[in-house]
Structure 1
Amino acid sequence: MKTSYKTALVILILTVLWMGSGLFKNSAQVSEENTSKKTQALYVPRVRVMTIGGELHTQTIRVMGRIQADQAVNIRAQVLGHVSDVVVAKGDRVKAGDVILHIDGEDRKGRLAESRARMKQREIAYEAARKLRKGGYSSQLTEAQAKADLEAAKAQVTRMKRNLDNTTVKAPLAGVIDTLPVKAGDYFDKAGGLIGRIVDLTKMVAMGQVAERNIQDIALGKAAMVRLPDDRELTGTVSYISSVSNALTRTFDVEVTLDITDESVREGITAEIQLPMKTLFSHRITPALLTLDSEGNVGVKTVSANNIVEFYPVKVVSDTIDGMWLSGLPASITVISVGQDFVSVGQTVDPVEGNLKSMISQPRQGN
């Protein structure tokens, strides 16, 4: 009985100690939680802010294209014959009217002389018929026939002279001889044979294709920008918009005439064309200021006049090297530039405009 009494006494003592320790622990936890809540109530996070005002900004679209000469012509032979002399070489720069080559024209000189002699004879015959008709010694039909013969002879002289002139091939415009596949001794067996190609490199256009969903926002006469592979940026004007889309790609051809007067741009190179579209009221910010709300919408966090965090969803108008342009914001906003990912919408914050050192969050004691 004595052993049972001792066992019961030990169990009683342990039970009392366990209950006492639990009560003390719960009291400590409650005290700690109350202190934490009080600290949180007094803590106002500090964030860095900047005020940004909106302005009118023209939205742009970028398309890839290529540079092409606005004026380039294929020179073709107008007469048959052997090439007697090639005056220029491929790559030469020529002016309008400069001689490109000669085609043998000796036989044409003889035929021109023969045609002129025939015309002279017809002039004499017509004059005689006219006088006889006036004197009543010839009929009106005879005079009319003589006049028709004279006109035919004049037309023949004109054709022969034009054929002789065409044996000297001249440049129709100023530019560079891009191709010249002929050489002395070659024979043109039919009219229209290719002689070469001249390109005017002082009048260049950038050609690109615009998707059908954007074509209505492109307008003739608007200023555009073209970036070349060597990072040169050229200005230009939208000079052509196709009225019919490509049946396969559903895109429309657009041309931008470049503002150049020299030969610094080569034909055929790739170009990035930036075309102006709508003009919208928007804000320019750095992409680092963008954040997401709880539903995954892209936007920016701002601070209200009462220092309450707000969130505005935005739409990207354009993305440039100078910053990102956004629509959907009030005229002027106080945007959180540092700390936006550590505060929540509806939370009170301490907005500060200053350097990075001032952005260290510190608790602020309330009254």
Structure 2
Amino acid sequence: MKRSLLFAVLLAIGATLWVLSGQFGETGSAPEAQKPPVDLTALNAPPLVRVRPSTAEPHAVIDLLRGRTEANRLVEIRSETDGRIVELSVEDGTRVTAGEVIAKLAAGDRPARLAEAKALLAQRKIEHEADRKLSQKGFRAETQVAATQASLEAAEAAVKIAEVELSYTTIRAPFDGVVDQRMVEIGDFVDRADPIAQLVELDPMLIVTQVNERDVQRLTLGTPGQARLMTGETVAGFIRHISAVADEATRTFRVELEVPNPAHSISAGMTAEIALPLSEVKAHRVSPAVLTLSDAGDIGVKTVDADSRVVFHPVKIVDTDAEGMWITGLPDEATLITVGQEYVGNGDTVRGVSESEIEQNLEGLSS
């Protein structure tokens, strides 16, 4: 028992000395070199964002309207006299110029009646000349001279009537166009006012739409416009007519956009989407990439103000084109955040780096 107790006492004394030797060694030894503290200044600096100045410009607000193509003129050419068709110079789809012969009717006795009228006119001229000379010598009364004058003028009128009647047998195109449909064949007998052919003028072409009573006040004659056809083709023209009277059923006004169609590639009756400038606003042209959403889900743009703080502006998209989109809701002069807008919030302080500065640095590296 005494031996065990002695061993335990010695073990306790040895453990105590070992613990005390560690403490004394740590106190007496020189401290180890410590690493310098981490510099947190860079972590606390405002975040970097890429910015670009933007200036509002006047921009026409375009409204898209549904419409249709319509021929500039479409008429039914009708016979002005009766007779049998003896000649046809056109088929369906034939292009004709103004004055070109479309059809001819049999002349019948019209040349003979014209010759008779001319012979009578020659006789009336001789009679009137004789009476006039006799009247100067006192052998004819003024009433007789007036009677032969009237007979002469009646003969001249008869010649004119016979000439016009004969001219009616040749049917000509009243304007340049395309024969859309021919209604007669050689040998057909036509009466006065019977249709001969349907002629359509396709150049220029009209694109017609209906504009409501609020927006029609913003349009003016001569304003340029564009239209996209169902074929995908886009054509440009100008407003040539704005109706002064509204349609009673729809309370809308007819607006005509005139576009050139020299190749007759646009047919009448096609559906079209018409882009008309209804008003002008001051807007910024931006890339769609700068748009972001607020916490409430509003579409907008983030800018940097004079105090380097982020400002969120709700915007409205008024138009788009090949170079970007036009938006309103920003000040006339603004500094847009173009990169990094998703990582900063409204009111945050940021460090803005201009796009022009970045481009200059890149050019310097490449050179």
TM-score, with length taken from structure 2: 0.76
Number of residue pairs matched by the alignment: 315
Select the residue among 94, 119, 122 that pairs with 2:121.
Answer: 119
Q: Which residue of 1 aligns with 2:249?
A: 248
Q: Is the 8 A contact 1:67 1:266 kept in 2?
A: yes
CA separation in 2, counterparts of 1:186 and 1:47?
A: 84
Q: Is the 8 A contact 2:202 2:261 kept in 1?
A: no
Structure 1, residues 173-199: CA drift from partner, whole Å, max 9, x if none?
A: 222111111111222222x22211222
CA separation in 1, counterparts of 2:265 and 2:47?
A: 57
Q: Is the 8 A contact 1:132 1:138 kept in 2?
A: yes
SS at match of 1:177: strand
Q: Is the 8 A contact 1:208 1:255 kept in 2?
A: yes
CA separation in 1, counterparts of 2:290 and 2:277?
A: 26
Identity of aligned residues (%): 40
Structure 2 residue identity aligned to 1:77: S
Q: Is the 8 A contact 1:71 1:203 kept in 2?
A: no
CA separation in 2, counterparts of 1:270 and 1:89?
A: 27
Q: Which residue of 2 aligns with 1:301?
A: 302
Q: Is the 8 A contact 1:87 1:100 kept in 2?
A: yes
Q: Which residue of 2 aligns with 1:325?
A: 326
Q: How does 1:80-159 map to 2 (within 5 A)?
A: 80-159=82-161
* Coordinate RMSD, CA, aligned: 2.9
Q: Is the 8 A contact 1:58 1:277 kept in 2?
A: yes
Q: CA deviation at 1:134?
A: 2.7
Structure 2 residue identity aligned to 1:103: L
Matched, 1:201 2:205: no
Matched, 1:345 2:346: yes
Structure 1, residues 255-305: CA drift from partner, whole Å, max 9, x if none?
A: 222144332322222222211233322112345644555666543232334
CA separation in 2, counterparts of 1:345 and 1:256?
A: 46
After superposing the two structures, state which structure 1 stretch, 211-220 or 197-206, moved more.
Answer: 197-206
Q: Is the 8 A contact 1:201 1:262 kept in 2?
A: no
Q: Which residue of 2 aligns with 1:360?
A: none
Q: Unaligned 5+ residue runs, structure 2?
A: 1-42, 356-367
CA separation in 1, counterparts of 2:129 and 2:307?
A: 109
SS at match of 1:122: helix
Structure 2 residue identity aligned to 1:113: A
SS at match of 1:106: coil
Structure 1, residues 110-150: CA drift from partner, whole Å, max 9, x if none?
A: 21122122222222322232233233333211211111011
Structure 2 residue identity aligned to 1:244: V
Structure 2 residue identity aligned to 1:256: L
CA separation in 2, counterparts of 1:201 and 1:246?
A: 26
Q: Which residue of 1 aligns with 2:177?
A: 175
Q: CA deviation at 1:226?
A: 2.0
CA separation in 1, counterparts of 2:304 and 2:134?
A: 110
CA separation in 2, counterparts of 1:224 and 1:101?
A: 40
Structure 1 or 2, whichever has the larger Rg, is 2
